[in-house]
């Protein structure tokens, strides 16, 4: 692929000056506006229709822009935001328990282990309250109290109750809300939908993003789409681990191909391993299922105190319920008395790994811990627990074939979310002018660890309340005439690059199916770039990934043709990109000589095994620049400035 080299790039975060609570309002006033009658002269491309994409596409169309929205699924309603269970945070303080915009900001910055931008996070907390209003107005059926007002629950990493929810299907209901707003704009003719269409390249010309090249997944047709701005709302790259809680189709391709054109990739090693997932059963496993973190509100996490008891359980000679109270180790409550089972995700995951590494894990594999509801059922009654978690218990039962009302659930950490992503400035613009990244696809708000119920908040904040302001500033600056035709050489060359790659994949005709490469990559990433990392392991992983890449391009077997529905071909392109991303993640993890949030380097820990940050040297965003095939990427640093919070070691004890 061609790169637009910018060797002396300087990263401008564009976070406005001024007191933190006034930054966003001042910035909004400073942004240029597009006259209402001129908005119809601009075309905006939105890739991905999850919370960020659907909310952005709908809101921009409402303003009067012409929007083209793309998704690889058969309908925009199926984007993976739909699977989010637990809830969405907002600083409404409806519970009168001391919440505020500043507290949500503070919890998020601290939860992210001080590796996020203050300005972005404060804005997120500010607009969180508008999101709930918007969703309720759309008809999202949030949980209610008997008096008819909205209900809240608490979530990991916070000591206030600020999470809004719709049973265990909050993501579904929020996405269907955004999808309904999007559908309304499709009916109005302001959004043109392209389902079953995958973005395979970005077109950059004259230093600006000009459009995208897509493949129609049903016919194989390679097509060009031109726009004044391109919004990547394409989610995270958790599937680089093969096994994750992401949907099977979630991929990094759109972001990665933009990266190859000069969009910097920031903090790619910051991945979140979620503590409460259903453990792996066998090597045929295709994905992992998350059990909402909200379960930790009432469930108690434990393993046997002794290795001997654990072994008996692993061999099936003993059941969880046989173990006496004094023989159980409620390790989160023991180590973190003030937060207990509600410690943030990275802490909960790492501790589960420790007890399993000690040989005290349960299930056949020894890679699981218990999440026990017996006490909660005794205290509140089965009915109450059923009302709160009924659908989750049912889901667990369907997968594991055990009844969690009677025997403790088994859980183990799994890859869930990626905090890293395309580098963006305060306007959500990447390092390529005109190219934006929203939601999980960008890196900006969660630092090194995301708190529960914050992903939905960020996706909708970006789409409903940030991009409608910031994109206008860019469009007003360039003017409607600054657009490149799909007949131009830039588009034609990009189309050729895409179809060449497709043909190359089909022509290898090797011996191994795509999935085998994906599984192999996943294992490397999980073993060496997963819950804990070492320099030695990372170096080894780098070599293994390079070997895998060579083997992929000589030995992958993709059956069928381009001119038809060909899922193996789709996957082959995605896995090729995951392999390259995997190598960058390893580089990033090697570079970051500290432990913070989800990035735990064994060389850097406190005496009692907690993450040890190095604020002196690493309080920066690591933004990587692609410099060419098999060339080392160049690191650019954006120093993080903290004016409103004091950097302390996170303590949840």
Partner 1 sequence: MKVNLKVWRQKNNNAAGKLVEYGLDNISPDMSFLEMIDVLNGELTRKGDEPIVFDHDCREGICGMCSMYIDGRAHGPQTGATTCQLHMRSFNDGDTIVVEPWRARAFPVIKDLMVDRTAFDRIVQAGGYVSVNTGSAPDANEITIPRTIADEAMDAAQCIGCGACVAACKNASAMLFVAAKVSHMAVLPQGQAERSIRAERMVAQMDAEGFGACSFTGACSVECPKSISLDHIARMNREYLGAKLTSENV
257-286 residues in contact with partner 1 (CB under 8 A) are 281-282, 284-286
Token code pair at residue 17 = 């000056």
Nearer to partner 1, 419 or 466 (CB): 466
> Nearest distance from residue 411's CB to partner 1, in Å?
15
Q: Residue 237 in contact with residue 518, Cβ under 8 Å? A: no
Token code pair at residue 290 = 């998350």
Which of the residues 215, 300, 345, 650 is marked catalytic? Answer: 345
Q: Which of 145, 322, 602, 617 binds partner 1 (CB under 8 A)?
A: 145
Residues 428-487 close enough to bind partner 1 by CB under 8 A:
464-465, 468
Q: Residue 417 in contact with residue 443, Cβ under 8 Å? A: no
Strand-strand pairing, 222-226 and 208-216: antiparallel
Query: Which part of the chain contacts partner 1 (CB under 8 A), choosing from 316-324, 367-375, 391-399, 530-538?
Result: 391-399
Nearer to partner 1, 237 or 423 (CB): 237
Q: Which of 2, 478, 508, 568 binds partner 1 (CB under 8 A)?
A: 568
Alpha helix stretches (DSSP H) within 291-441 = 307-314, 331-335, 345-357, 374-380, 382-400
> Nearest distance from residue 40's CB to partner 1, in Å?
16
Residues 201-230 close enough to bind partner 1 by CB under 8 A:
218
Q: Is 134 in the site for partner 1 (CB under 8 A)?
A: yes
Query: Which part of the chain contacts partner 1 (CB under 8 A), choosing from 244-252, 264-272, 317-325, 411-419?
Result: 244-252
DSSP string, 259-312: HTTT--EE-TT-EEEEEEEPPP--TT-----B--GGGGGT-EEEEESSHHHHHH
Q: How distant is the alpha carbon of residue 12 from its chain centre?
A: 24
Q: Is 500 in the site for partner 1 (CB under 8 A)?
A: no
Q: Is 634 in the site for partner 1 (CB under 8 A)?
A: no
Residues 146-175 close enough to bind partner 1 by CB under 8 A:
146-150, 166-167, 169, 172-173
**Cβ neighbours of residue 326 under 8 Å, at least 6 residues apart?**
305
> Nearest distance from residue 316's CB to partner 1, in Å?
15
Distance CA 316, CA 594 (A): 40
Place of tokens 């209610």: 144
Residue 468: in which H helix or E strand, if any? helix 467-478
Q: Is 94 in the site for partner 1 (CB under 8 A)?
A: yes
Distance CA 291, CA 279 (A): 10
Q: Is 411 in the site for partner 1 (CB under 8 A)?
A: no
Token code pair at residue 497 = 């690059």
Q: Is 359 in the site for partner 1 (CB under 8 A)?
A: no
Q: Which of 287, 312, 483, 540 binds partner 1 (CB under 8 A)?
A: 287
Residue 315: in which H helix or E strand, if any? none
Residues 11-70 close enough to bind partner 1 by CB under 8 A:
55, 58-59, 62
Q: Is 95 in the site for partner 1 (CB under 8 A)?
A: no
Q: Is 73 in the site for partner 1 (CB under 8 A)?
A: yes
Q: Which of 33, 535, 559, 641 binds partner 1 (CB under 8 A)?
A: 559
Nearer to partner 1, 139 or 609 (CB): 139
Q: Which of 352, 362, 395, 409 binds partner 1 (CB under 8 A)?
A: 395
For CA atoms 555, 560, 563, 569, give the dihedral sign.
Answer: negative
Residues 502-521 close enough to bind partner 1 by CB under 8 A:
511-513, 515-516
Q: At what angle do helices 118-138 and 101-111 cross, to 10 degrees?
A: 120
Question: Residues 453, 458, 460, CA angle at the centre, nearest 5°?
Answer: 105
Which among 277, 606, 319 is positioned nearest to 412, based on CA atoms?
277
Q: Is 574 in the site for partner 1 (CB under 8 A)?
A: no
Q: Is 193 in the site for partner 1 (CB under 8 A)?
A: yes
Q: Is 144 in the site for partner 1 (CB under 8 A)?
A: yes
Question: Residues 315, 319, 325, CA angle at the centre, nearest 5°?
Answer: 125
Q: Residue 265 in contact with residue 584, Cβ under 8 Å? A: yes
Nearer to partner 1, 392 or 585 (CB): 392
- Look up 300 and say whether it is catalytic: no
Q: Is 195 in the site for partner 1 (CB under 8 A)?
A: yes
> What are the catalytic residues?
345
């Amino acid at each position: 692929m061609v790169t637009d080299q910018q060797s002396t790039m300087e990263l401008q975060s564009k976070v406005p000056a001024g007191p933190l609570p006034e930054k966003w309002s001042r910035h909004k006033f400073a942004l240029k506006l597009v006259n209402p009658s001129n908005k119809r002269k601009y075309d905006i491309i939105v890739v991905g229709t999850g919370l960020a994409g659907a909310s952005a596409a709908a809101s921009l169309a409402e303003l009067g822009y012409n929007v083209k929205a793309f998704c690889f699924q058969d309908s925009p309603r199926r984007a993976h935001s739909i699977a989010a269970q637990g809830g969405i945070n907002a600083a409404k303080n409806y519970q009168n328990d001391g919440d505020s915009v500043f507290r949500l900001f503070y919890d998020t910055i601290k939860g992210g282990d001080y590796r996020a931008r203050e300005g972005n996070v404060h804005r997120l907390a500010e607009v969180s309250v508008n999101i709930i209003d918007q969703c309720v107005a759309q008809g999202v059926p949030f949980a209610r109290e008997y008096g008819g007002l909205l209900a809240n629950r608490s979530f990991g990493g916070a000591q206030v109750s600020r999470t809004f929810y719709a049973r265990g299907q909050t993501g579904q209901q929020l996405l269907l809300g955004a999808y309904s707003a999007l559908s309304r704009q499709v009916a109005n003719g302001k959004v043109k939908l392209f389902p079953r269409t995958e973005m395979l390249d970005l077109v950059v010309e004259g230093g600006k993003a000009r459009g995208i090249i897509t493949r129609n997944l049903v016919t194989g047709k390679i097509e060009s789409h031109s726009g004044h701005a391109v919004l990547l709302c394409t989610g995270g790259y958790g599937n680089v681990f093969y096994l994750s809680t992401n949907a099977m189709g979630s991929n990094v391709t759109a972001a990665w191909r933009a990266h190859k054109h000069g969009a910097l990739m920031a903090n790619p090693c910051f991945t979140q391993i979620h503590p409460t997932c259903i453990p792996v059963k066998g090597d045929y496993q295709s994905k992992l299922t998350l059990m909402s973190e909200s379960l930790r509100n009432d469930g108690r996490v434990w393993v046997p105190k002794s290795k001997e008891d654990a072994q008996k359980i692993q061999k099936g000679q003993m059941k969880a319920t046989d173990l006496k109270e004094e023989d159980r180790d409620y390790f989160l409550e023991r180590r973190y008395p003030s937060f207990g089972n509600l410690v943030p995700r990275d802490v909960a995951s790492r501790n589960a790994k420790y007890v399993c590494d000690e040989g005290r894990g349960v299930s056949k594999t020894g890679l699981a811990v218990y999440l026990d509801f017996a006490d909660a059922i005794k205290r509140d009654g089965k009915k109450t627990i059923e009302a709160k978690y009924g659908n989750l218990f049912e889901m667990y039962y369907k997968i594991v074939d055990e009844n969690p009302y009677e025997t403790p659930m088994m859980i183990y950490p799994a890859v869930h979310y990626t905090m890293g992503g395309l580098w963006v400035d305060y306007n959500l613009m990447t390092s390529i002018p005109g190219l934006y990244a929203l939601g999980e696809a960008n890196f900006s708000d969660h630092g090194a660890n995301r708190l529960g119920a914050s992903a939905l908040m960020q996706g909708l904040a970006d789409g409903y309340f940030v991009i409608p302001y910031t994109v206008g500033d860019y469009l007003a600056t360039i003017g409607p005439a600054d657009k490149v035709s799909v007949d131009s050489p830039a588009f034609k060359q990009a189309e050729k690059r895409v179809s060449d790659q497709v043909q190359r994949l089909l022509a290898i005709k090797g011996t191994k199916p795509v999935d085998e490469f994906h599984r192999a990559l996943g294992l490397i990433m999980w073993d060496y770039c997963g819950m804990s990392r070492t320099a030695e392991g990372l170096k080894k992983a780098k070599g293994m990934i390079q070997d895998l890449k060579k083997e992929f391009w000589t030995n992958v077997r993709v059956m069928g043709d381009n001119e038809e529905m060909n899922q193996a071909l789709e996957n082959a392109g995605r896995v090729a990109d995951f392999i390259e991303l995997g190598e960058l993640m390893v580089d990033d993890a090697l570079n970051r000589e500290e432990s913070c949030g989800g990035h735990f380097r064994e060389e850097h820990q406190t005496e009692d095994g907690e993450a040890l940050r190095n604020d002196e040297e690493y309080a920066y965003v690591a933004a990587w620049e692609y410099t060419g095939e098999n060339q080392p990427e160049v690191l650019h640093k954006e120093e993080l400035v903290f004016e409103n919070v004091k950097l302390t070691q996170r303590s949840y004890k």
